[in-house]
Structure 1
Amino acid sequence: MKRELEEGSPETLPAIRTVSLLEWATMYLDHAQAKFIGKTYSEKRMAFRLLLQSFSPDAEVAGLHKGEILAHFSRQAQNRSGHAANKDRKNLVAAWNWGVEHIPGFPEQNPFLTDRFAEDRIPRPVPTEQEFWAVHDAAGSAQDRLMLLCYLHLAARRSEIFHLRREDVDLDRRQVRLFTRKRKDGSMQFDWLPMSDRLHAAMTEHLAITSGPWVFPDPQTGEPYIARQHWLGRLCRRAGAKEFGLHGIRHLSASILIRAKVSLLDVQTILRHTNLTTTQRYVHRLESVRKAIEVFE
Structure 2
Amino acid sequence: MPALIKKFNPPRWRGVVTVDGVRKEKLFPDGTEKSLRAAEKWEESQRHKLKDPTPTGTASPTLLDLANAFLDFVKERQSHQTYVEKLGVMKRAVKHFGGDTLIEDIQVGDALNFLTEQYRNRSGYAANKERKVLVTAWGWGKKYLPGFPDGPCSFQLVDRFPEQRQPRYVPPEEDFWAVYGAAEGQDKVMMLAFLFLAARRGEIFRLKWSDIDFAGNTVTLWTRKRAGGDLEADPVPMVGRLRLVLLAWWEHRPIKAEHVFVNLDDTPFCKQYMGQPFTSRQHLMARLCQKAGVREFGFHAIRHLTASIMYREGQPVAVIQAVLRHKSPQTTTRYLQGLGLKQTQDAMEAVMGSRGPGKVVELGRAGLR
Whether TM-score is above 0.5 comes out as: yes
The aligned counterpart of 1:97 is 139
- 2:330 match: 277
Percent of aligned pairs with the same residue?
Answer: 39
Distance 1:63 1:283, change over 3 A: same
Letter of the 1:97 partner, please give it. Answer: G
1:204 is matched with 247
2:161 matched to which residue of 1? 117
1:178 Cα deviation (Å)? 0.9
Given that 1:125 and 1:245 are in contact with CA atoms closer than 8 Å, whether structure 2 keeps it comes out as: no
Q: Which amino acid aligns with 2:336?
A: V
Question: Secondary structure in 2 aligned to 1:177?
Answer: strand
Q: Alignment partner of 1:108: what SS?
A: coil
Which deviates further from its counterpart, 172-181 or 93-102? 93-102
Scaled by the length of structure 1, the TM-score of the pair is 0.86
In structure 2, relative to structure 1, the CA distance for the partners of 1:137 and 1:277 (3 Å cut) is same
Q: Larger C-alpha radius of gyration, 1 or 2?
A: 2
Q: How many residues align?
A: 285
The equivalent position to 2:95 in structure 1, one of 45, 48, 53, is 53
Partner of residue 295 from structure 2, selected from 239, 242, 246: 242
Contact 1:178 1:190 in 2 (8 A): yes
Which residue type is aligned with residue 293 of structure 2?
G
Is the contact made by 1:62 and 1:107 (CA closer than 8 Å) also made in structure 2? no
Query: Please, which of 84, 96, 107 is the counterpart of residue 126 of structure 2?
Result: 84
Q: Deviations over 1:218-267 (max 9, x none)?
A: 22212222322222222222222221111111000001111222221221
Contact kept? 1:180, 1:188, Cα under 8 Å: yes
Query: What code does the residue aligned with 1:267 have?
Result: I
Whether 2:320 is the aligned partner of 1:258: answer no
How big is the shift at 1:135?
Answer: 1.4
Is 1:214 the equivalent of 2:259?
Answer: yes
User: 5+ unaligned residues in a row in structure 1: which ranges?
Assistant: 1-11
The CA RMSD over aligned residues, in Å, is 2.4
Secondary structure of 1:193's aligned partner: strand
**Distance apart, 1:110 and its partner CA:** 1.2
Question: Of the candidates 193, 199, 202, which is equivalent to residue 159 of structure 1?
Answer: 202
What CA distance in whole angstroms lies between the structure 2 residues aligned with 1:38 and 1:246?
16
2:163 aligned partner, one-letter code = E
1:268 aligns with 2:321: yes
The structure that is helix-richer by fraction is 1
* SS of corresponding position for 2:228: coil
Q: Provide Cα deviations, 1:100-153, integer angstroms capped at 9, x if missing partner.
A: 333355222111021222334344431111111121122222x22221111111
1:291 is displaced (CA, Å) by: 4.4
The answer to whether 1:175 aligns with 2:218 is yes
**Equivalents in 2 of 1:222, 1:104: separation in Å?**
43
Aligned to 2:275, the other structure's residue is in SS state coil
Residue number among 143, 149, 152 corresponding to 2:192 in the alignment? 149
Moved more, 259-268 or 176-185: 259-268
Q: Output the amino acid matched with 1:218.
A: N
